[in-house]
Amino acid sequence: MRYGGLRHMNILVIGREGRLKLYAPDWAEAEKYDIKYISPGASDDEIIERGAGAEVILADAMARVSGKVINALPKLKMVHSEGVGYNYFDIAAAKEKRVYVCNCKAANARAVAEQSVLLMLGLLRDVMNGDRAFREGKQLKEKEGHMLAGDLRELGECTVGLLGFGDIAQASAKILRGFGTRVIYSNRTRKTELERSLNVTYVNREEILEQSDIVSVYLNSNAETFHTVNAEFLAKMKEGAYVVNTARGDLVDSHALVEAIASGHIAGAGLDTVEGEPVEPDNPLLTAPAEVKDKLIFSPHVGGITGGAFRRCHEMFWYNLKRLERGEKPERVVNPW
């Protein structure tokens, strides 16, 4: 189709139709496009059939876009993640076919950072058990118990170690600065130029584990980082420390985490992502002993899905689409050639 002399590309959305309408920066303009939708759980053959003629795919960040799909759509020019992740996109096949794969880098950084700090505060103030005690009419007993134990802590008293120092970790450091928290970080590449402005100190991983009252994980998920937080990692952590994970579930060995909490070496964990999503009833984190469960806080992988984050993501997608229609290279390409 052509509008105003500019040809509009055909779009296949692997995701929910309602989100596009809700978050598109200009829905009246979007309605001029030929847009087809299919569920993220659809098979390759179903996607290929539905996507016939598609030049652009907008895919849920957790959807699968296989090499088979990419190679079966001859007009395809770009696969764009609806979020930051692209773990299930075959970027090698796309690169070979000269199909851009783009993401929404940093669009949800602040949102996930806020979730990280939320989990930190929840652990330090024992929010889950306090809520339960209140609902059971035991609030005074719970309050007196904490006063006698002196076990509720302020974030400003803690040293927080950031494992990885990308966009989300940097956004977390900005928030933690306001609490007066001592923040240290470990990263493959030292980012000296940010240390002064973010008030962070670079240390090696061993020092992160030795010094941190809270270790917050911000690594990418790949073969090298799989089960980074394992039994050896946890054993080296400061006694009584906490683990927070708002990155990818497979970075943490759930069995090892349960054992470390059960032993008393680790005080607890706040997890927005866990290994094996969607979570099944036999997940070791859910079948753990009661004394371990009381030291866990879960959130259902919602760190990055605020309305603001989604609006920024969709603005990035439509911006890249317009660039492609003008014959320009899109931005935030993850498979450059």
* Residue-wise burial string across 104-125, b where 16 or more C-beta atoms lie within 10 A, e elsewhere: bbbbbbbbbbbbbbbbbbbbbb
Residue among 301, 312, 314, 332 flagged as catalytic: 301
Compute the CA torsion angle 160, 165, 171, 172 (nearest 10 deg).
-20
Domain boundaries, the chain: 2-107+306-325, 109-298
SS3 assignment, position 53: coil
pLDDT tens for each residue of 90-120 = 999 999 999 999 999 999 999 999 999 999 9
Tokens read off for 59: 């895919």
Return the closest-CA partner of residue 277 out of 307, 245, 311, 308.
245
pLDDT tens for each residue of 5-28 = 467 999 999 998 899 999 999 999
Average pLDDT over residues 64-83: 98
DSSP element (H, E) containing 135:
helix 127-135
Average pLDDT over residues 150-154: 97
Tokens read off for 131: 């809520």
Assess contact for 119 and 95: CB atoms under 8 A: no
> Residue 6's pLDDT is what?
60
Instruction: Identify whether 301 is a catalytic site residue.
Output: yes
Please report where in the chains the tokens 């799989």 appear, as a residue. 226
Topology (CATH level 3) of domain 109-298: Rossmann fold (3.40.50)
Please report where in the chains the tokens 């087809």 appear, as a residue. 36
Residue among 195, 277, 315, 325 flagged as catalytic: 277
DSSP-assigned beta bridge partners for residue 100: 78
Return the closest-CA partner of residue 164 out of 123, 125, 112.
112
Residue among 8, 19, 248, 314 flagged as catalytic: 248
One-letter identity of residue 202: Y
Average pLDDT over residues 146-152: 97
Q: Determine the CATH number of domain 2-107+306-325.
A: 3.40.50.720
Query: How many angstroms separate the CA atoms of 204 and 207, rounded?
Result: 5
Instruction: Identify whether 248 is a catalytic site residue.
Output: yes
Which residues are within 8 A (CB) of 290 and not within 5 positions of it... i.e. 6 or more apart? none
Query: How many angstroms separate the CA atoms of 226 and 301, rounded?
Result: 18
- Do the domains 2-107+306-325 and 109-298 sit in the same CATH topology, yes or no? yes
Average pLDDT over residues 157-163: 98
